[in-house]
Amino acid sequence: MRLSIHYERLIPETWVCRYKFQSSSGVYEDKTATISDADQVWVQTRHMHMRETIDKLMADFNAFMEKNAGFSG
């Protein structure tokens, strides 16, 4: 329990990640992603082990794909 409390204090309230995205036409764009408590995926997975998080994200995405059969990313 104490580790969890200390861990929470070490994590900033909001993280900003910057990355380059290559579009289907090959053009690179600078993108920004904000990770905070407003992001429900972050809230649901932030205390999970990396393997559990990956499994959950894959299961959630596969469920989305099944529900949206016409979706192609």
Q: What is the pLDDT of residue 9?
A: 54
Please write the tens of the pLDDT for every residue from 16-35: 889 999 988 999 999 998 88
- CA atoms of 7 and 15, how far apart (whole Å): 15
pLDDT of residue 6 exceeding 80, the answer is no
> What pTM did the predictor assign?
0.60
Q: Residue 70: which pLDDT band, with cuts at 50, 70 and 90?
A: confident
Q: Looking at per-residue confidence, does 20 or 13 come out higher?
A: 20
Q: Domain ranges in the chain?
A: 2-67
Q: What confidence tier does 12 reach under pLDDT thresholds 50, 70, 90?
A: low
Q: Under 8 Å CB-to-CB from 28, ≥6 apart: which residues?
A: 20, 21, 22
